[in-house]
Amino acid sequence: MSFGGGAFAGGPVFGGLGGQGGQNLPFAGVPTELQERVDEILATEPDVADEAVDFSQAEYDRRPFTLGRFLAPHWVALLGALGLVVLETITLQAGPLLTKIAIDSGIRARSTQVLFAVAASYVVLIGLSMLISRARIVVTARVGADLMVRLRVRIFAHLQRLSLGFFTEEKSGVLFSRQTSDPVSLAALFQEGLVQLAVQALTLMIVTGLLVALNAWLATIVLLAVVPAMLLMTLWFRSASGPRYLDVRDRIADVLSHLQESLAGVRIVTAFNRRRHNVIEHRNVVGAYREANDATAQVNAVYGPGSEMIGILGQALLFLIGGRMVLRGELTVGDLAAFALYLTAFFAPIQQLVQLYTVYQQGTAAVVKLRELLAEGPTVGERTAAHPLPSIEGEIALENVTFSYQPGTPVLRDVDLRVRPGETFALVGATGSGTSTIAKLVARFYDPDSGVVRIDGQDLREVTFESLRTQLGIVPQEPFLFAGSLRDNVAFARPAATDDEVLAACDAVGIRELVDRLPYGIHTPVHERGVTLSAGERQLLALARAFVAEPRVLVLDEATSNLDLRTEALIEHALDVVLEGRTALIIAHRLATARRADRIATVHDGQIVEIGTHEDLVAQGGRYAEMFATWARHY
């Protein structure tokens, strides 16, 4: 998460690498002896212009992701690169022809002039090829880097559209490698793969043409003996290596997700003495990955040396037939030399193509996986016809809502609920009764199976996500902090918020004291998952985050669970101020929070069993009254 970079300036800044909150952490910098040269390079970097982000929940490219569509927008540059490749290949392949001329017209005709002319044109061609090659490298790198930015942003943006349910089912290690390893494989496919493919294919064509021109009969015989052998081998390689490379990709994803999860839960691993077990587990997934790699080694080891062998056997055949032709006077020695040289030039590309095939396999495997990911549609999506939710009063209504996470086991059944604008409304109920689910439906993390959720009378499915969620402040159960400064985290929903606004929010939730204690105030970096802050402090920060968002409707999902009583009291005081004039839906297991609400609903087994003020419900003597009695006895 980039929070606008240099807010926290201290220590040797590794260029703009900051921004990721990285520069002050170990393992994010460079060795000191390199720092100077790194600084020199970074001094030449222009500021990255703040590009407007073009993002829509509903409108996006739904066509299947293919290599063709991926490359299409750059067709001009690609054609240019192709042109350069053609020129480069032609200048490179003149060598053997010049050798033939030098042998037949120069040496055997005893003409030093021809020799000089040949050498001079050779040098000119070399000069040309250098210039062309230079241009080609720069052009393809530019296009490639451009494609990568687009691809990374596209995958990332697509994941932002997918619904919460998707992230619950998919392992994050897998999604991680979709966004990191796969684009790299595709970049390699483009930068090394496609360009080289063009170079080598063209070389093959030019060389074949030249061989036929030198001696059609000899060319036919030699190529007929060699090409089918190569072709068969390539076909075998193709069918044998494809599944093996797919296997490698699956295995490395396993390795990464095991690693990632071990790091995420490292404290539990340590606390429970699970080190040894996990190390062996990791050894097993890494071992499976190694075996998958070994399987690719097999086919590669057959293919590479095998094709080299065919190449040399081809030379033997050339000497056998061509040599006899020379002896019979049907061919010059110069022709034979050119043939021998071209045959080398003919096999080099084939071997290169094999190397490329690896790149190609990995690249296309990445294309397939990315196509699958990009074809994944949000289950809770924005409709194309969705309109922005106008500025809301804050009336929440659930009408006859039924919902289940897994088909057949409804979590909510026929729930009807109306929260008036400006009202503070608490939902209480046992764990699993469905209270949190109601909050998730109001935030439209999920859509009801039947029934409608409305805000100000508008069906949530008809409005845009952004207009809904910017007017809604949600404090989820788990306070997640992003790497970056405390300021960046608090101003998460509104990065443009001023420092004063951020400080005011900190005041409101009662962490001003904490902020003042930190070495750099609100600019102090907080680390991932906020490990340097206590759970309570993180909860408070999450609340401050919601305050800065200035929502019309606030949804607190048991957000005060990790606070001690004093801090909770502070927050509840702050809530009174902040909730003034706002609608609030509070999921509370703490009845201290619930009883302050204007109205309370008790949820039991997916249904609302009673609604009323605290006093009403206590007087009714129902489920709430019973819960309250138990609770009060213990506080």
Partner 1 sequence: MRSGLERTLRDLESLADDPSHPLEPVGVESRYDPPRSSIHPDRALSWLRRLWPVVAGHRGIFAVALLASLASLLCGVAVPRVMMAAIDDALTTRTAPLEGFVIAIALLGLIRGGAGFVSRFWLFRVAYAIENDLRVTLYDHLSRMSFSFYDRVQSGQLISRANSDIRTVQMFLTFGPLICLTILSFLAAIGLMLSISVPLTIVAILPLPFVGVLGARLGRLTFPISWIVQSRMADIATTVEENLSGVRVVKAFSAERAQIHAISKAARRLQWINVRQAEVQAAHAPVIESMPRVGMALVLLVGGWLTIEGRLTIGAIVAFTTYVVMLQAPFRMFGFFLMMVQRAAASALRIYEVLDEEPEVRDRGDAHDLTDPRGAVHFQNVTFGYGDAAPVLSGFDLDVPAGETVAVVGRTGCGKSTVARLLARFYDVDGGAVRIDGEDVRDLTLASVRAHVGIVPDEPFLFTTSIRNNIAYAQPDASDEDVIAAARAAGASDFIDRLPEAYDTVVGERGYDLSGGQRQRISIARSLLANPRVLILDDATSAVDVHVEQSIHDALEALLEGRTTIVIAHRLSTIALADRVVLLDSGRVAADGTHGELMRSEPRYAEVLAHLEDDTGARDAPAPEVAP
Q: Give the C-alpha separation, 455 to 436, whole Å.
A: 18
Q: What residue ranges in 440-504 does DSSP mark as E strands?
A: 450-455, 458-459, 472-475, 484-485
Q: Tell me the residue type at 548.
A: V
- Within 391-450, which residues bind partner 1 (CB under 8 A)? 405-406, 409, 428-432, 436, 443, 445
Nearer to partner 1 by Cβ, of 387 and 400: the residue is 387
Residue 35 CB, shortest distance to partner 1, in Å, is 9
**Contact region with partner 1 (CB under 8 A), list: 127-135, 212-220, 233-241, 394-402:** 127-135
Residue 381 CB, shortest distance to partner 1, in Å, is 13
Residues 6 or more apart in contact with residue 622 via CB below 8 angstroms = 602, 609, 610
Q: Give the C-alpha separation, 372 to 368, whole Å.
A: 6
The DSSP result for 178-190, as a single string, is HHTHHHHHHHHII
422 in Cβ contact with 581 (< 8 Å) = yes
What's the half-sphere exposure (Cβ side, CA atoms, 13 Å) at 500? 0
Number of Cβ within 10 Å of residue 77's Cβ equals: 17
| 9 belongs to the binding site for partner 1 (CB under 8 A) | no
Nearer to partner 1 by Cβ, of 324 and 387: the residue is 324
Residues 6 or more apart in contact with residue 179 via CB below 8 angstroms = 152, 155, 156, 159
Sign of torsion over alpha carbons 547, 549, 554, 558: negative
| 619 belongs to the binding site for partner 1 (CB under 8 A) | no
Phi and psi dihedrals of 276, rounded to 5?
-60, -45
Instruction: Give the residue, chosen from 72, 235, 279, 375, that forms a contact with partner 1 under the rule CB under 8 A.
Output: 279
Instruction: Give the residue, chosen from 80, 242, 304, 622, that forms a contact with partner 1 under the rule CB under 8 A.
Output: 304
Instruction: Give the residue, chosen from 213, 301, 375, 619, that forms a contact with partner 1 under the rule CB under 8 A.
Output: 301
Instruction: Give the residue, chosen from 43, 316, 385, 577, that forms a contact with partner 1 under the rule CB under 8 A.
Output: 316
Nearer to partner 1 by Cβ, of 400 and 479: the residue is 479
Instruction: Give the residue, chosen from 226, 365, 540, 575, that forms a contact with partner 1 under the rule CB under 8 A.
Output: 540
Structure tokens at 422: 């400006």
Question: Across the chain, which distance is largest between two alpha carbons, in Å?
Answer: 121
Structure tokens at 184: 């790299």
Instruction: Give the residue, chosen from 14, 65, 237, 425, that forms a contact with partner 1 under the rule CB under 8 A.
Output: 14
Instruction: Give the residue, chosen from 236, 319, 413, 461, that forms a contact with partner 1 under the rule CB under 8 A.
Output: 319
Residue 620 CB, shortest distance to partner 1, in Å, is 16
Nearer to partner 1 by Cβ, of 130 and 216: the residue is 130
Q: Tell me the residue type at 122.
A: Y
| 10 belongs to the binding site for partner 1 (CB under 8 A) | no
Residues 6 or more apart in contact with residue 1 via CB below 8 angstroms = 20, 21, 482, 483, 484, 488
| 87 belongs to the binding site for partner 1 (CB under 8 A) | no
- Within 192-251, which residues bind partner 1 (CB under 8 A)? none
Residue 255 CB, shortest distance to partner 1, in Å, is 7
Closest among 427, 404, 428, 423 to 414, alpha carbons compared: 404
**Contact region with partner 1 (CB under 8 A), list: 235-243, 359-367, 451-459, 592-600:** 592-600
Region of 121 (left: φ > 0; alpha: ψ -120 to 50; beta: rest) is alpha
Q: Give the C-alpha separation, 125 to 92, whole Å.
A: 8
Closest among 74, 171, 144 to 373, alpha carbons compared: 171
Nearer to partner 1 by Cβ, of 132 and 503: the residue is 132
Instruction: Give the residue, chosen from 106, 363, 394, 448, that forms a contact with partner 1 under the rule CB under 8 A.
Output: 106
Find tokens 């409101």 and name the residue: 508
Instruction: Give the residue, chosen from 43, 391, 580, 635, that forms a contact with partner 1 under the rule CB under 8 A.
Output: 635
**Contact region with partner 1 (CB under 8 A), list: 68-76, 214-222, 293-301, 577-585:** 293-301
| 327 belongs to the binding site for partner 1 (CB under 8 A) | yes
| 2 belongs to the binding site for partner 1 (CB under 8 A) | yes
Instruction: Give the residue, chosen from 102, 197, 486, 600, that forms a contact with partner 1 under the rule CB under 8 A.
Output: 102
- Within 241-270, which residues bind partner 1 (CB under 8 A)? 252, 255-257, 259-270
- Within 487-506, which residues bind partner 1 (CB under 8 A)? 492-493, 495
Site string for partner 1, 334-373 (x = CB under 8 A): --xx--xx--xx--x-------------------------
SS3 53: coil
Query: What Å distances lie between residue 395 and 231, 398, 472, 583, CA to CA?
Result: 71, 10, 12, 7
- Within 21-40, which residues bind partner 1 (CB under 8 A)? 21-22, 25-28, 30-31, 34, 37-38, 40
Nearer to partner 1 by Cβ, of 116 and 400: the residue is 116
597 in Cβ contact with 614 (< 8 Å) = yes
Residue 422 CB, shortest distance to partner 1, in Å, is 21
| 512 belongs to the binding site for partner 1 (CB under 8 A) | no
Instruction: Give the residue, chosen from 152, 238, 599, 604, that forms a contact with partner 1 under the rule CB under 8 A.
Output: 152
417 in Cβ contact with 396 (< 8 Å) = yes
| 594 belongs to the binding site for partner 1 (CB under 8 A) | no
- Within 50-79, which residues bind partner 1 (CB under 8 A)? 50-51, 53, 55, 57
What's the half-sphere exposure (Cβ side, CA atoms, 13 Å) at 125? 18
Residue 313 CB, shortest distance to partner 1, in Å, is 5
- Within 559-588, which residues bind partner 1 (CB under 8 A)? 561-569, 572
| 378 belongs to the binding site for partner 1 (CB under 8 A) | no
Residue 368 CB, shortest distance to partner 1, in Å, is 20
167 in Cβ contact with 160 (< 8 Å) = no
Instruction: Give the residue, chosen from 9, 72, 79, 145, that forms a contact with partner 1 under the rule CB under 8 A.
Output: 145
Residues 6 or more apart in contact with residue 97 via CB below 8 angstroms = 210, 338
Instruction: Give the residue, chosen from 13, 16, 501, 610, that forms a contact with partner 1 under the rule CB under 8 A.
Output: 16
Query: What Å distances lie between residue 412 and 168, 403, 459, 477, 609, CA to CA?
Result: 19, 5, 18, 19, 12
Residue 260 CB, shortest distance to partner 1, in Å, is 6
Nearer to partner 1 by Cβ, of 400 and 629: the residue is 629
